[in-house]
Chains A and B, each alone.
Chain A
Amino acid sequence: MTQELITCTGLCRDFGDVKALDHVDLSLTSGKIIGLLGPNGSGKTTLIKILNGLLQPSSGEVRIAGEFPGVETKKIVSYLPDRPYFADWMRVGDMIELFADFYEDFDLEKSSDMCRTLGLKPQMRIKSLSKGTKEKMQLMLVMSRNARLYLLDEPIAGVDPAAREFIMRTILTNYSEDATVLISTHLILDIEKVLDEAVFLREGSVVLHESVDSIRDRTNGSVDQLFREMFRAQLWNGGNEYAQ
C-alpha cells in the first residue's frame, strides 16, 4: 500500500516571532517507517503535536487519511509523547483499561504479553514505577494498538543503549505492516537501519525527504553521516549546499 497517509500543505506555526514550522509541504505514504530527523528546536515536536491536534497551525493545513486532525484521526493515530502522561492516582491496570475502553484497535493480548516482559502487574501504582519503566509502559500502551499511524516523539532519547534496543525491538515487532511509523529523533545511528525514509527538518523547514536507500546510493554513506555533515555545515555556513 502506498496511498498518502499524511499531507501537509504550506504548514506554518509561529510562537511569537519564532517560526517553529515554516511552509512545510510533506506527503507521507502508508506502510513505511519514517525518521523525522533534526536537531533540537528544528520543529519535530511541533509538527507531531499538530498531527495529533494538540496544536493548531498558524496557516496551511494538515490531513491524515484525508481528514483534518480531530476525533476521527485520533481513532487511527497512536501517539507516544516525549514525556510521561500518567495521572498519579492510576494503576497499571487502570491505564490498560482506559486504552481498551477508548481505542477499538487496542489489543489486550499484545499488551498482556508486553506487561509480562516488562514485569508489570495490573495492581502496581504507576507513581511507584521508575522513570525508565514508565517510559516503557507508555510505549507498551502505544504499540498495543493496531493503529494506521504511529507518531513516536523521541522514543529513545535519554535512555541507556540496552533500553534503546528494547524500545526499537518493541516498535518493530508490534506495529502493523500496513501502518506508517513516524519516529522523531536526533539519535539517528540507533534507528537508521530500520528506516525506509528520512525527513530532515531545519529551523522549521523540510530540507530533505528521501528514501534511505536513495540517500545511501547518492552519498555512499549513511543517513547519520549525511545528517552530521548537513547540520555541522549549518553551524558554519548554513549548510545550504545540502538542502534540496
Chain B
Amino acid sequence: MLSKLMKYDLRSCFRRFGVLWIATAAFAVLTGIMMHGVFEKAMESGSFILRFLTILVPVILIGLIIVTGVLTFVFICERFYKGLLGDEGYLMFTLPASVSEHIAAKALSAMILTIISSLVALVSGLIFLLIYQPAELMEGLRMLPQILKEADLPASVPLFLLEILVLILFTVAKETLKIYASIALGHLAKKHRVLWAILAYFGITTLESLARGLVISNGLFSRLEAWAEEADWGIIYTNGTWSVTGIGMLAGIIGLLILVYLIMSAVYFIVTKVILTRKLNLE
C-alpha cells in the first residue's frame, strides 16, 4: 500500500514541479550563455534589449530557484493538509491503507521532492558554471581524482560522507514530520485550524529550542563541544599531501545528532498518527 500511495503523491509532485525544474535548468543554460559571451557583446553594442536580457535572465534563474524552494515548502504543507484533512481525505481515509502508511507515504514523497528540488538547484549551478567557465570547471574536475589520490585520507572518509548524507536525510525527515504534527495538532481545534497549525509549529519549534537550551545548560552540549575541540577536526596540507584529522570523534558527534533526530521524527510521527486515528474529524 505504501508504494501505491507514494505513486500518486509523487505523480502530483511531478505534475506541479516538472515544468519548474525544467525551466530552472533551461534558465541555467541561458544564463551561462549570456554570461559567457553575450554579456560583453551586449555592453559593447549598446543595444538596450540585449543589455536588459543579460540582466533579466540571471535574475529569473535566481527567482526560479527561490520560487522552487518556497513552493516545495508550501506544497509539502498543502498536500498533507488538503490531501488528508480536506475533502480529499474522504477518499484517502477510505482506501484500505493504515494511517501510518498514509503519513509515511506523504513524508517519504515530501523528502523525495525536497531532495530533487535541491538537486535541481545544484545541477543548475553546475550547468551554469559548465557553460560560463567550462575550462576552469573541467580543470577542477580533472584535478579532483589526482588530489584525492595524493591525499592521505583515512579509510573512513567515504563512511563519514555517507554519515553526513544520512544526517541531511534525517534533518529533512524531522522537519517534514514536525510540519505534519503541527497540522495534526491544528486539526484538534474546532475553528481556524490553519491558524492553530501555524501556532503549533512555532510552539514546537520553541520547545525544541528550550530542550536544546536545557541540554546545553546541563553540560551535555558543552561536552560535545569539548569533544569537537579534542577532535581537532581539519583538513591539513603538509609536505605536499592532504590529510584529515579527528574524523572519528566528529563522526561520533554526528551519529549522536542522527539518533536525536531519529527520536524526534518518531515522536512527531506518533503524535500525528494518534491524532489522525483517534481525533480525525473531517469538515
Binding site for B on A (CB under 8 A): 16, 49, 52-56, 70-72, 74-75, 77, 79, 81, 83-87, 89-90, 94, 98, 101-103
Contact = CB atoms under 8 A, between A and B. Distances in A.
- Nearest 9 pairs between A and B by C-beta? A85-B91, A74-B96, A85-B90, A81-B90, A75-B96, A102-B95, A79-B94, A89-B12, A71-B96
B206 interface: no
Interface of B: 1, 4, 7-8, 11-12, 15-16, 82-83, 87-91, 93-98, 190, 277-282
Contacts of B88: 85-87
Contacts of A77: 94
Nearest to B278: A56
A224 B193 CA distance: 40
Given A74-B95, A102-B4, A89 B15 contact: yes
Contacts of A54: 89-90, 93-94, 280, 282
10 contacts: A52-B93, A54-B280, A55-B280, A55-B281, A56-B280, A71-B98, A74-B95, A87-B83, A89-B12, A89-B15
Contact of B87 (A55, A56, A83, A94): A83
Contacts of B282: 49, 54
Most buried by A among B11, B16, B91, B98: B91
A77 B94 CA distance: 8
A81 B191 CA distance: 22
A186 B3 CA distance: 41
A53 B93 contact: yes
Given A55-B280, A101-B4, A102-B95, 19 more contacts: A53-B93, A53-B94, A54-B93, A54-B280, A54-B282, A56-B277, A56-B278, A56-B280, A71-B97, A74-B94, A79-B90, A85-B88, A87-B12, A87-B83, A87-B88, A89-B11, A89-B12, A98-B8, A102-B97
A79 B15 CA distance: 28
Contacts of A75: 96
Contact of A84 (B87, B93, B97, B280): B87
Contacts of B280: 54-56
Contacts of B277: 56
A53 B93 CA distance: 8
A225 B93 CA distance: 37
A131 B274 CA distance: 35
B282 to A, nearest CB: 6
B16 A89 contact: yes
A71 B96 CA distance: 5
B90 A83 contact: yes
Contacts of A70: 98
A70 B280 CA distance: 13
Contacts of A86: 88, 91
Contacts of B12: 87, 89-90
A55 B164 CA distance: 42
Contacts of B90: 54, 79, 81, 83, 85
A54 B96 CA distance: 12
A103 B91 contact: no
A83 B277 CA distance: 22
A75 B277 CA distance: 18
A181 to B, nearest CB: 16
